[in-house]
Amino acid sequence: MQKTNQATLPQPRDPFQTLFRRLFGDAVPELYGAVETAGAPRTNISETDVAYQLSFELPGLEEKDIHVDLQDHTLTVTAERKDEREQSTARWHRVEHRYGQFSRTISLPQDAAGSGIEAIYQKGVLTVIVPKAPESRPTKIQVRGA
């Protein structure tokens, strides 16, 4: 395994950035100076009051070629795009499509639920919705007069 140089960035002052770093810093290292891993699909991560949404770019694949696993609060997405050039008699002048196995592993925050996870593949994007545990969701409390 080859080590990559990582630049040390100053600590963010924005409370949201601090929270984001704590929740996803190890899962999204390219935001904090690491080089993107070859073969890892580009990923967007968002959060609502009730769930985390992770979107993975996986164009040109079929659902059967994509696998999503959860173990010990770690979500792993793997997929494989087969190189079908071997069956072709064409002479290739340029090949820029990525072939082979793609993988991305993301450590989920502690408030992520381990069940009820949905994975939807549409138009080349895999969207994984991870609900938050009910006890971690905000609760509205009615204020009433005496």
Mean pLDDT, 10 residues at a time, over the chain (146 residues)? 44 55 53 49 93 94 94 93 82 84 91 93 96 79 82
Domain ranges of the chain: 15-84+97-136
What pLDDT was estimated at residue 5? 41
**Residue 88: what pLDDT?**
79
**For position 17, what pLDDT does the model report?**
58
The 3 state secondary structure assigned to 67-78 is: EEEEECCEEEEE
Tokens matching residue 5: 């140089």
Per-residue confidence (pLDDT) for residue 46, from 0 to 100: 95
pLDDT computed for residue 21 by the predictor:
59
pLDDT confidence of residue 43? 94
pTM above 0.95, yes or no: no
The CATH number assigned to the domain with range 15-84+97-136 reads 2.60.40.790
Task: Give pairs for 23-32: CB < 8 Å, separation 24+.
Answer: 23/109, 24/106, 24/107, 24/109, 26/107, 27/105, 27/106, 27/107, 27/108, 28/106, 32/6
